[in-house]
A and B are shown apart, each in its own frame.
Chain A
Amino acid sequence: MSETPDNQHTHSASDPAPRAKALDSLLVEKGLLASDAVDVLVEAYETDIGPMNGSKVVARAWTDSEYKQRLLKNGTDAIEELGYGGLEGSKIVVLENTDTVHNMVVCTLCSCYPWPVLGLPPNWYKSLEYRAHAVSQPRAVLKEFGLELDELVEIRVWDSTADVRYLVLPQRPAGTNDLSEEQLVALATRDSMVGVAKADSPALAS
């Protein structure tokens, strides 16, 4: 069917380190890649990558109330419905934000994170500062993220474990009735699904 990969050249120099470097340096010299493109990119992927699948889960929940009920009842199963799994035994619990309750997620012990839905944990999530203060002074921490909640809103902080990972279902932003599910995906930011921000409003998303 498909042709056998051309492996001729890959056997001649077997040490991969100089080969990777050779390719990188040639591509930079030829102007195909910026000189720092690879470093910047690897750094970004290692430390801070977007929410990916979680945004699609949230957008589905915003547009399909039956799906939302299933999601809140059994997050792991409802997320698997969309084809996202791979948590290796731990389950995902979805927490709904409302006018009166705001959920935020932390892992005080290490950096447990629902990565099949949120990608890689950002640096701040792993920082000692966030882990130490999210539980004791959530309101102050949220303020640092630029989120000031009404005093009447109850803040619930959820501590992740190896067995249970949490995903926040942010409130659907106002003024989004005309948006399609695909358009809504862009509004469900990572920070909103960790619970340190609200979902973006349509004016902010480009």
Chain B
Amino acid sequence: MTREIEWEVTGMSGTSALPRSNGELVFESPWEGRAFGVAVALTNAGHYQWREFNSVFIEHIAWAEQSGDSSTYYQRWLAALEELALKKGFVSVQELEQRAQQLAAENDHH
């Protein structure tokens, strides 16, 4: 069942094609892997179709490129993921902001 999803995810092409090195996925830092994993896991768990995520993601890429935004592939990925999670009502803006700030503050203390 998840094999179809694997095909969709790893078969993304054009601007949304996954960054790779000799075929292997490249995550520059752990949060990129986490953002990747959350997006795919939500599809595996049946919370949205992969094409829904992909179309929001492609929109973000196009939008960023048009506006000369220098964000990276996974920054755009995360922005798309957040947008979709909010749109679907999985989380609210307030709790997401609050949690992110809390975690950022915890990091600063270490």
Contact = CB atoms under 8 A, between A and B. Distances in A.
A118 to B, nearest CB: 8
B23 A22 contact: no
A30 B10 CA distance: 28
B9 to A, nearest CB: 8
B33 A46 contact: yes
A16 interface: yes
B20 A21 contact: no
A2 interface: yes
A49 B37 CA distance: 14
A171 B90 CA distance: 47
Interface residues of A, number: 48
How would you classify the secondary structure of chain B's contact residues: helix, strand, loop or mixed? helix
**Interface magnitude class on chain B:** 35 or more
Contact of A21 (B3, B31, B41, B95): B31
12 contacts: A5-B80, A10-B83, A16-B32, A20-B31, A20-B78, A25-B99, A45-B37, A53-B7, A53-B11, A110-B22, A120-B23, A120-B25
Interface of A: 2, 4-7, 9-10, 12-13, 15-27, 30, 32-34, 37-39, 41-42, 45-46, 49-50, 52-53, 86, 110-113, 115-116, 118-121
Interface of B: 3, 6-7, 9-11, 17, 20, 22-25, 27, 29-38, 40-42, 44-45, 47, 56, 59-60, 63, 74-75, 78-83, 85-86, 90-91, 93, 95-97, 99-104, 107
